[in-house]
Structure 1
């Protein structure tokens, strides 16, 4: 069975820092281009949207003066249509779903209820659990569950969910023990790992896939082994982006997608660019059903 080779990169990675970081959207892109095709693509991008910077980035082509170049790149006559794929992650929703896993509930429902029921303290709760569920956390577990107990006094459905969450303390304590034992392997909150699994599933459709990826400190040998067990990943090679044009194209697309998606998440979406991006976006992106505008829903 032939092995497909895909160039991949991300935008918005902050490891397992999902809440209170610099970005609130994570994007992971893969491109099925040959090296020659990827080099030709980058040459044409530089021609249509020139910049003196050595390492070309998405912010350049997203400038208003380069809008036509961006429309060409994403459009039906550009080099990427049918040859590229993007998985998007709303980091707050990703964290909420992980939290909901503890009580066996629907993360999207908690994502809808939380902000209205708890106001600014909803963000505090998510940030607290984000810290608890990361390796090397120094957040006192007693302080976090004191916040849970306080919020659980809220009436109605939201308060009920928090009362159930309060009973999940043994599961969090067990997770913290496992993280302390093997922090290099465990990464329950890193969106990069499920995005890579999804890329292999999407491109391979059951066939083995080799991924050439920009270097990431979170992609340790232990975690790459976990990925191989989770999907038909033949090989994951980490390369410097300037040595592989496929990674450069993937980096460009991931940055473009993250910017367009973040604008939409905050009610500042550009309908034209959203429509051009939509054919590339994975239908299994971590995005709330009610706001899956990016897929035309």
Structure 2
């Protein structure tokens, strides 16, 4: 395990697969996976070198997961997953479920950087009602368009009209929702209120879950991550502060986040491979991944299931 001499912190290299910006309802990309690996650079470099030797490609700087999933690469895939046993984790986020939760977390609860994580599960039942509602796709699309405020300076009232027009009936948590409150939240998003996490960036809670998992309440986690525009300096700082307060007096889960070019860090390349494999196999993990499935990939039928794989 790659830890500091005092074991007060651990360095985890991360990458994702399936990130599609704010296009969260694309049926061709239903989940996003976020992988973390606990490897030293030489260990990761050796893994990548072995995989490249099994499938050499001229001019390629990275070995991608789609190559490992070819039938003729079954032995290499099994070897790779076996080699990572106990040294990696994967969190899987159903994007539609994520958006359903964000409706409640942003508009009904008080927004916080715990949104979308295991630290904030109080509103899952309400989110599940939205997820199962007839017409959910149109309603969730209206929510996404209303909260996509990056280039806005003023509240777009037509988008708020559509949000209320498509709101499903039979969701008790939304019955008391007023237009004035929704307008106020949207304005806070436009003004980049530091108390509100980005509503359409599942990488933020994915990073939080990875830090919480590897911290285990005993140590802090220094993350080395592939370059991602979603993980801005200010968002990471706010997330780090929230997590530290949420688990106090345990050590702060998230110590630092350093972003690197994945082509230059073999640990991130390994995380990218693992994330891609998990995303492509999420519907039928099979014997290679099923033993490490510790939670549902989709909205839980019971509301106490965890949400990740540990390999």
Q: 67, 72, 77: which one pairs with 1:65? A: 72
Corresponding residue of 1:218: 230
- When residues 70 and 95 of structure 1 are mapped into structure 2, their CA distance, relative to the original with a 3 A threshold, is same
Contact residue 89 and residue 308 of structure 2 kept, 8 A: no
**More deviation, 136-145/217-226:** 136-145
SS at match of 2:150: coil
**More deviation, 49-58/8-17:** 49-58
1:56 aligns with 2:70: no
- When residues 180 and 30 of structure 1 are mapped into structure 2, their CA distance, relative to the original with a 3 A threshold, is same
- When residues 143 and 238 of structure 1 are mapped into structure 2, their CA distance, relative to the original with a 3 A threshold, is closer
1:236 aligns with 2:264: no
**More deviation, 194-203/17-26:** 17-26
Corresponding residue of 2:249: none
5+ residue gaps, structure 2: 1-5, 109-122, 244-251
1:257 aligns with 2:278: yes
SS at match of 1:236: strand
Contact residue 30 and residue 84 of structure 1 kept, 8 A: yes
5+ residue gaps, structure 1: 153-157
Corresponding residue of 1:134: 148
1:247 aligns with 2:268: yes
Q: 126, 138, 141: which one pairs with 1:106? A: 126
Contact residue 6 and residue 209 of structure 1 kept, 8 A: yes
- When residues 132 and 214 of structure 1 are mapped into structure 2, their CA distance, relative to the original with a 3 A threshold, is same
Number of residue equivalences: 270
Cα RMSD after superposing both structures: 2.9
Contact residue 149 and residue 189 of structure 2 kept, 8 A: yes
SS at match of 1:289: coil
1:9 aligns with 2:15: yes
1:125 aligns with 2:132: no
SS at match of 1:160: coil
Corresponding residue of 1:90: 94
Contact residue 241 and residue 248 of structure 1 kept, 8 A: yes
SS at match of 1:219: coil
- When residues 173 and 255 of structure 1 are mapped into structure 2, their CA distance, relative to the original with a 3 A threshold, is same
TM-score with structure 1 setting the length: 0.80
Shift, 1:28, TM fit: 0.4
Shift, 1:88, TM fit: 0.4
Per-residue CA shift, 1:41-79, capped at 9, x if unaligned? 1112223344343221111111222122212222xxx21
Per-residue CA shift, 1:60-102, capped at 9, x if unaligned? 111222122212222xxx2111100000000001111122344
Shift, 1:201, TM fit: 0.8
Corresponding residue of 2:184: 174
SS at match of 2:83: coil
Q: Distance in 2 between matches of 1:230 and 1:224?
A: 10
Corresponding residue of 1:275: 287
Shift, 1:209, TM fit: 0.9
Q: 80, 84, 92: which one pairs with 1:80? A: 84
